[in-house]
Chain A
Amino acid sequence: MNWVMDRCRLCEMRRERNSDYCAFHLEAIKNLEEAYEVWRKALQIEWTEFLELASERPETGQWAREAAIYLSMGGREA
């Protein structure tokens, strides 16, 4: 199997079946999507702005930050 093809887009972990991401970045993206609903209601902001703000928060976990930065730069969603 091609090593690169097998890997998550954001790290060197093996990607999940039918996804571009490993289980952890996939979980982080799911959390971002869930959190966005709260941010949108609270601050009336768009997805891209949310990703930028979330990636700058110190409380954001490492994988969620990596996913937020990647998605904010135009990376495809899961």
Chain B
Amino acid sequence: MTGRTLVICEKPTAARRIAQALDEGAAPQSFTERGVPYFVARMDGEDFIVVSALGHLFTVAQEGAGWTYPVFSMRWVPTHEADKRFSRTKNFIDVIGRLASGVGGYVSACDYDMEGSLIAYMILLHICGKESLSLSRRIRYSTLTDKDLERAWEEMSDHLDFQLIKAGKARHEVDWLFGINMTRALTLSVKNATGFYRILSIGRVQGPTLKLIRDREVEIKSFVPTPFWVIKVDTMIVGRTYPLEYGKPRLETREEAEGVMSSCKGKNGVVKAIRTTRQEQPPFPPFNLGDLQREAYNKLRYSPRTTLTAAERLYLDALISYPRTSSQRLPPSIDLRQILEGLRRKKEYSELAGMLLSKPRLTPRQGKKDDPAHPAIYPTGGAPGRLSRVESRIFDLICRRFMAALGDPTVRENTDADVDVNGHKFRLRGSRILERGWTAFYEPYVEKREIELPPLTEGQEIPIKRVESIERYTKPRARYNPSSLLKLMEDEAIGTKATRTDIIDTLYKRGYVENREIELTDLGFSIVETLSRYNPEILSVEMTRDLEQDLESIQMGRASAEDVVEEAVKMLRPVLAEFRSKENEIGAEIDDALRRIAQRATALGPCPGCGDGEIRVIRNKKTGKRFAGCSNFFEGTCDVSYPLPQRGSIRAMGKNCPSCGAPIIRVIRRGKRPWELCVNFDCPAKEK
């Protein structure tokens, strides 16, 4: 390679780090043109222009005009042409175009995955020209540390990773085909049937995900609990209370439960047998992205999006390896000792890292899942600068999990004693840690479950202190939360590690789901119900999974991208034809649901004045201001009305004021604590 080389990165921060690693003096020249940063690094007498994209600079768009469906002709266009919100990307295209003129070679230095490879490919193809593709090389790295980047540079491949590029391109095209056609079909069905226009969209993976949420919602809403009883017995040994577990965890009738209770009351227990076992619990493997997101949700209550954003920042700061990985494995090429030396310099890990460094051999616990592109997430050992609270907690989680994976198994001694109370069998269980092993490193995130029992002997009598029969009821399965939904999508093999978080976010943004414990909204419900009735294929997990496998086959070189896109078109054609033939019914049904939703959204509760009317949110046509009034006002039979706060959204709480009977509402304003109040300005309770 002679003369100048253009190095294409995915993000400006990565460009700066790569330029620093390349430059002989670690001080590349830095420039900014029309808001686009770029760097010139000098190495072995050669100039390397390191420039960054801003994510995808090119996207799929419709070939030709017209807002209709089906549409199967597409082309790749600059992102700013397809969507005005991305107007800033035009500057990047122009600046890269100018910098590319006269260069002798190109290097794709975007993140090593499908999206990164595609970003660089599209820049090369559309900005630098087709001939640039044969002059392009690819570096592969998992961390943005100087050492890893220098190694990646030395081991650079002399061609682009065309399998990844083809797979990425096909994925974008297939997603576009599904998204554009289904969105238009849904929107136009309502418009053509009723004249009402509202964008209703659904994507290839969103549909099946929504269906999975809907199935759980139906299960919860039609759930009927059944009663059962549990026997709670406590014993007192050497001044301490220990719970005894009854042989049957659930009793089906009240009579049986009361029988056990009265039989055990006032009696002593007799220890019949004691078993002691030693249990070794190996550490957890290091994190892949899904595991990290789940653990951060379970232990820190961070949403998958928050965790991913924090992890990406840590990666760009060269503090952790590439987070979008499926791997739970650390290959031997990673210098574990060097990382631990780095962590030892940090006060909170100093002692822990020292413990590991004193081991003669470091063998990480390896998980089952692997990723051909990247190892599991691990800290680089770099010293963090100023981190936000979220970033520092995610960093801590990753560091501790990494160290725990290098730890020894935890050794526990479990004691299990059979206790007889007047002919009823109970168990007394205890557990104590003999060797802390890996839990020493993962301490803040380990659930403690130690109950240390006193020495027991067979035949020993133990007094029963409390006998209770507690009536309980079965519960429906929990609603999904962002973390469990992510796991479900992983298990069902829909979406990819890179897209699942975005898909969940999109469901929230479109108003199909709400709340942390994911609840399907009326809108989401009506879309799923209508599609289930008329176009169940669109919601089919199997169809999405099959397509996902086809897309993966492209990456493995087992299928051609053209065939997979063609297959998607073949799948869509009959679905859309069927949709078209039932467009009026579908449109009318969705419109009906939308009207009910709109009506419900304005209903606040029953009118305390006339009794048979409903208090609704009404807008004054002249002033545009809102107030609450009885639905019987227009019949001339009731004139109850109340002023409403003019800012924020209003939600009915489904209850009425105990003082005056008017509906209670919740006012939600951005950045403010939600505010619950009785709509009646003159409510006697307010005077107090």
Contacts and interface: CB of A to CB of B under 8 A. Distances in A.
Q: Do A and B bind each other?
A: yes
Nearest to B226: A38
Contacts of A32: 224
Contacts of A28: 221-222, 224
Given A12-B596, A57-B473, A59-B475, A39 B226 contact: yes
Contacts of B253: 41-43
Contacts of A59: 223, 225, 473-476
Interface in A27-51: 27-28, 31-32, 34-35, 38-39, 41-43
Given A35-B226, A57-B473, A59-B473, A43 B254 contact: yes
Interface in B527-582: none
A4 to B, nearest CB: 13
A75 interface: no
Given A12-B596, A59-B476, A54 B254 contact: no
B470 interface: no
Contact of B254 (A25, A42, A63, A64): A42
A25 B218 CA distance: 10
B676 interface: no
Contacts of A64: 221-224
B228 interface: yes
Contact of A24 (B221, B474, B596): B221
B223 A31 contact: yes
Contacts of B220: 61
A61 B218 CA distance: 9
B252 interface: yes
A35 B475 CA distance: 13
A19 interface: no
Most chain A CB within a 10 A radius of its CB, from B224, B227, B475: B224
Given A41-B253, A42-B252, A61-B476, A31 B227 contact: no
B355 to A, nearest CB: 47
Contacts of B226: 35, 38-39, 42
Contacts of A24: 218, 221-222
A61 B254 contact: no
Nearest to B589: A14
Contact of A62 (B221, B254, B596): B221
Contact of B225 (A25, A43, A57, A63): A57
Contacts of B224: 28, 31-32, 34-35, 54, 60-61, 64, 68
B222 A61 contact: yes
Contacts of A63: 221-222
Contacts of B475: 59
Contact of B223 (A25, A38, A61): A61
**Most-contacted residue by chain A among B218, B220, B222 (CB, 10 A):** B222
B474 A31 contact: no
A31 B476 contact: no
Contacts of B476: 59, 61
A11 B45 CA distance: 77
A64 B223 CA distance: 6
Contact of A60 (B225, B228, B254): B225
Contacts of A42: 226-228, 252-254
Interface in B169-185: none
A64 B476 CA distance: 12
A27 B254 contact: no
A27 B218 contact: yes
Nearest to A25: B222
Given A42-B254, A43-B254, A35 B228 contact: no
B227 A38 contact: yes
Nearest to B596: A12
A60 B223 contact: yes
B380 to A, nearest CB: 48
A78 to B, nearest CB: 13
A39 to B, nearest CB: 6
B500 to A, nearest CB: 28
Contacts of B227: 38-39, 42-43
B252 A41 contact: yes
A24 B473 CA distance: 22
A28 B220 CA distance: 10
A51 to B, nearest CB: 10
Listed residue (A32, A63, A68) with the most chain B CB atoms within 10 angstroms of its CB: A63
Interface string B217-257: 01011111111100000000000000000000000111000
Contacts of B596: 12
A54 B474 CA distance: 12
B357 to A, nearest CB: 52
Contacts of A57: 225, 473
A64 to B, nearest CB: 5
Contacts of A60: 223-225
A32 to B, nearest CB: 5
B590 to A, nearest CB: 13
Contacts of B223: 31, 59-61, 64
A9 B172 CA distance: 46
- Name the residue among A32, A41, A61 with the largest chain B CB count within 10 angstroms: A61
Interface in A55-78: 57, 59-64, 68
A24 B252 CA distance: 28
A35 B254 contact: no
B473 A31 contact: no
B261 to A, nearest CB: 15
Nearest to A35: B224
A59 B222 CA distance: 10
A27 to B, nearest CB: 5
Contacts of B222: 24-25, 27-28, 31, 61, 63-64
A67 B576 CA distance: 37
A64 B225 CA distance: 10
A54 B225 CA distance: 7
Contacts of B221: 24, 28, 61-64
A32 B226 CA distance: 10
Nearest to A33: B224
Interface of B: 218, 220-228, 252-254, 473-476, 596
Given A59-B225, A60-B224, 11 more contacts: A28-B222, A35-B224, A38-B226, A42-B226, A42-B252, A54-B225, A59-B474, A61-B220, A63-B221, A64-B221, A64-B222
18 contacts: A24-B221, A27-B218, A28-B222, A35-B225, A38-B252, A39-B227, A42-B228, A42-B252, A42-B253, A42-B254, A43-B227, A43-B254, A57-B473, A59-B475, A59-B476, A60-B225, A61-B476, A64-B222
A-B complex: 6 closest residue pairs judged by Cβ atoms: A35-B224, A59-B225, A28-B222, A61-B221, A38-B226, A61-B223
Interface of A: 12, 24-25, 27-28, 31-32, 34-35, 38-39, 41-43, 54, 57, 59-64, 68
